[in-house]
Amino acid sequence: SSFGFLFSEDPMTSSFLATTYISLVPNLILFFVPPNIRTSSLNILVSFAVGGLLGDVFLHLLPQVFLGEHGEVIELGDGKMKWRNLYVGLGIFGGFLFFFLMDKFMRVASGGGHSHSHHNHGHGENQGLSTSVKTDAQIRQRKKTDTSEPDNRKITQYTVNQNVNLSAYLNLLADMTHNFTDGLAIAASFYTSPAIGISTFAAVFFHEIPHEVGDYAILIQSGFSKSRALGAQFVTAIGAFLGTAVGVAIEEATRNPELIPFLSGYLGGESNSIISASEMIIPATTGGFIYIATVGVIPELLEDSEQATTCEKLKNAFWQIVAMFVGVGLMVGI
């Protein structure tokens, strides 16, 4: 694999190495990113990330959970195989539902009721779990509204600032939760196989770059200084390491019952069981990736600036599609 030299043969070591790369490199890139990055440029990065996430789902994770590591149909007998596939499908839905509930909670807590509309509300009303982009049109629209209502601005300024700060902190909490699930997925993937681990690492890594850039821009627009925004992004990386540690503990308990007898009794399952609890992590990860890509990110790409001409919109769409294919192509090559 192209990234094989970055990792160890030991899945525990590889899991923590992958989490370190994912947490460190995208945040270091933020030192060189202007807070007012062009939306069109960010959307191309986001499109590449979507291609990577969906490529990992359709080319690696789904075949893995249904067919096994090398594509052989898992031998369980017709009856058990039917139930196993049912559990795997429910695991995928469970991962999707978990991200939906987290996204919904963050939107409700920040006072917003609209999922993906960008033109009629401010920061606090559309900031969900996996939102990556703020459009230039939204920022301009907000500025225009502020200047057209000078009498109301002073009266509502304190409330608006409170909402903006709440939204920023909720975004950080959501980011930490998101990073926790990423760490869990990384650990489960490397314990499944080195190939699955590396492909999941690549998908998460290239998704994190535009995700972190988008979150950084939101924090800057919410009143954070550059140093404070950078520090906050590094703090959210704690969630990824916690997730990796939990994932490693689950996998080690499953494979070495003598290490954590209490956990292994619940996670490992019996030798004749259809599927163990630890084996449900990859299906849940798959469902989470599907939610992030299709519900959290793609709707952002469908939004165009109101000031853009038809030609500009078509040009942006073309480069987004190209970037998406490049992301999928990367997953083909891994």
pLDDT of 129 reads: 44
Closest CA to 242 of 186, 172, 168: 186
Q: In the numeric block, which tokens belong to residue 56?
A: 């990992």
pTM of the model: 0.71
State the average pLDDT over residues 14-34: 91
State the Rg of the chain over Cα.
21
If one compares 232 and 4, the residue with the highest pLDDT of the two is 232
Q: In the numeric block, which tokens belong to residue 45?
A: 């990065």
| Percent above pLDDT 90 for the chain | 33
- Average pLDDT of the chain? 77
Closest CA to 219 of 210, 209, 231: 231
pLDDT in tens, 92-145: 999 999 999 988 888 888 776 444 333 333 333 334 444 444 444 444 444 444
pLDDT of 31 reads: 86
pLDDT in tens, 214-257: 788 778 877 788 888 899 999 999 999 999 999 998 888 877 76
Out of 11-25, 111-125, 183-197, 292-306, least confident range: 111-125
If one counts the domains in the chain, the total is: 1
Separation CA 106–CA 29 (nearest Å): 27
pLDDT of 187 reads: 94
If one compares 6 and 141, the residue with the highest pLDDT of the two is 6
pLDDT of 274 reads: 61
**Contact present, 52 and 203 (Cβ < 8 Å):** yes
Q: CB atoms < 10 A from the CB of 221, how many? A: 19
pLDDT in tens, 162-217: 455 666 777 788 788 889 999 999 999 999 889 899 999 999 999 888 888 878 87
Domain containing 239 equals 4-333
pLDDT of 140 reads: 40
